[in-house]
Amino acid sequence: MTGKILVFGLMFFSLLLPAAVDAQDNYTRFELGAQYSTLRETNFAFEGKNFSGVGGRFDWNFTRRLAFESSVDFFPENGVPLPLVQGGQTIQAVFGLRAKAVQTRHFAIFGSVRPGLLHFSGVEVLANGTAGPYIARPATYFVLNLGGGIEYYPSPRWVLRFDIEGDPYRIPADVTSNSSGNTLAIPGKINDSTRLSFGVAYRPGALIENEPETKVPGNWEFGPLFSAMMISREGLTENVRTEPGVGGYASYRFYGVFYLDGDLLYFPRRPDVAGPHDGGTILQGLVGLKGGIRRNHFGFFGKVRPGFHSYSDALTGITTSDSTSTYSYGRSNNFVLDLGGIVELYPNERSTVRIEIGDTHLFFNTRDVNVDSVTESFDGGKMQHSIQLIVGYGWRF
């Protein structure tokens, strides 16, 4: 999480720089690059280590600020096989958007949102009771690469670049039965890693003159939202689910390129079971800072928004009588921090199509459960991640 906070801090600070700076005179439609990257994994000494890798990058520039970007990296060192989380060699392939918040003749600060795939050659999975408790198998997971960095232009054709990103990825649970017919499970989760890249790129083809830029009007913005949130639910065997939600958002520009921005979303699905921290429906509220640029027909922003997850039916008590258990439930409110990016498209003067992608960090509180008149405390544990995609339509005025 520290890496992502550094990235968003860099982006927000860059937005304070004077707007009246000379941008690059020209750009090309395509960029081809190579890079050295590191990915944080666990080695065979069970220590966190930055594994080295190499890869390539391809960019298709829509404008001098906005591009479709793809990147593939190979990390040849073998990580220790851990249950579902990692193991063996690693390949990462991501595809998404890169946008420059600040660009001068020789320098730019950018943000990127790039979903993709993270492949491990040999994670540990359950062996079905026939070859020991675990066996190693390849695994491929959905990953959301969020971050940004700095570019330096020694000439119109060449780009030197540094990136730092967070890599939350979705790990589904592994559920099987052993030879005795008992169900075995390794819980799934949203895991996170950190990636650094140092690269060089060349711009082939014709140099395109920069197009004029116009600001997009409107200080207020609001509208409905639909969300899909990949989240680990407590107490479920196959506990990583994609929860659909609906709600709305509001945004107000209070200074320059900074906005007070908030979402309120309701996730109506109820899991069959509940834990002491999580159960029932989810009400999510987020209010914080959105910072970025609006130019011509698009906007690109970073977001840092604290808030809450309120679960309707977390476990509060268990009473056992005559071999029958009675469960009681209550509301559980927990702090969350939403980090990510927002892309806005402006089909006309007053409307907005809004796409949010982010990693919502969950911090569960310690909860007390009354078990047959004895109070037992359940610690919130380590911070958890969730991956969230939100799509909405808004009106500006």
Verify that 226 and 312 share a domain, yes or no. yes
Q: What would the pLDDT profile of 83-108 be if each residue is shown by its tens digit?
A: 999 999 999 999 999 999 888 889 99
Q: Are strands 367-371 and 298-321 parallel, antiparallel or unpaired?
A: parallel
* 253: helix, strand or coil: strand
Q: What is the mean pLDDT of residues 61-81?
A: 95
Verify that 180 and 217 share a domain, yes or no. no
Amino acid at 33: G
Structure confidence at residue 190 (pLDDT): 95
For the chain, the first-to-last Cα distance in angstroms comes to: 35
Residue 132 clears pLDDT 70, i.e. is over it: no
Q: Which residue has the higher pLDDT, 182 or 393?
A: 393
Residue 219 clears pLDDT 80, i.e. is over it: yes
Domain count, the chain: 2
Verify that 202 and 270 share a domain, yes or no. no
Domain boundary (211, 240, 275) is at: 211
Structure confidence at residue 19 (pLDDT): 46
Q: What is the mean pLDDT of residues 19-40?
A: 83
Cα radius of gyration rounded to whole Å, the chain: 23
Verify that 283 and 190 share a domain, yes or no. no
Residue 12 clears pLDDT 70, i.e. is over it: no
- Identify the H or E element spanning 11: helix 2-14
Amino acid at 340: G
Residues in the chain: 397
Verify that 147 and 222 share a domain, yes or no. no
Question: Over the range 215-251, which residues count as b (16 or more CB within 10 Å of their CB) and which as e?
Answer: ebebeebbbebebebbbbbbbbeebbbebebebebbb
Q: Which residue has the higher pLDDT, 22 or 155?
A: 155
Residue 374 clears pLDDT 70, i.e. is over it: yes
Verify that 206 and 217 share a domain, yes or no. no
Verify that 226 and 359 share a domain, yes or no. yes
Amino acid at 344: E
CATH code of 13's domain: 2.40.160.20
Structure confidence at residue 270 (pLDDT): 92
Structure confidence at residue 20 (pLDDT): 42
* Of 192, 175, 203, residue with least CA distance to 359: 192
Question: Over the range 341-378, which residues count as b (16 or more CB within 10 Å of their CB) and which as e?
Answer: bbbbebeeeeebebebbbbbbbebeebebeeeeeeeeb
Banded model confidence at residue 322, pLDDT cuts 50, 70, 90: confident
Verify that 180 and 227 share a domain, yes or no. no
* 139: helix, strand or coil: strand
pLDDT above 90 coverage of the chain, percent: 73
Verify that 43 and 177 share a domain, yes or no. yes
Verify that 98 and 146 share a domain, yes or no. yes
Q: What would the pLDDT profile of 50-68 be if each residue is shown by its tens digit?
A: 999 999 999 999 988 999 9
Verify that 164 and 218 share a domain, yes or no. no
Residue 15 clears pLDDT 80, i.e. is over it: no
Q: Model pTM?
A: 0.89
Domain boundary (185, 211, 237) is at: 211
State how far the Cα of 251 lies from the Cα of 390, in Å rounded to an integer: 15
Domain boundary (195, 211, 227) is at: 211
Banded model confidence at residue 185, pLDDT cuts 50, 70, 90: confident
Verify that 240 and 370 share a domain, yes or no. yes
Structural domain containing residue 259: 212-397
CB neighbours of 301 closer than 8 A, spacing ≥ 6? Answer: 259, 290, 291, 292, 293, 341, 342, 343, 344
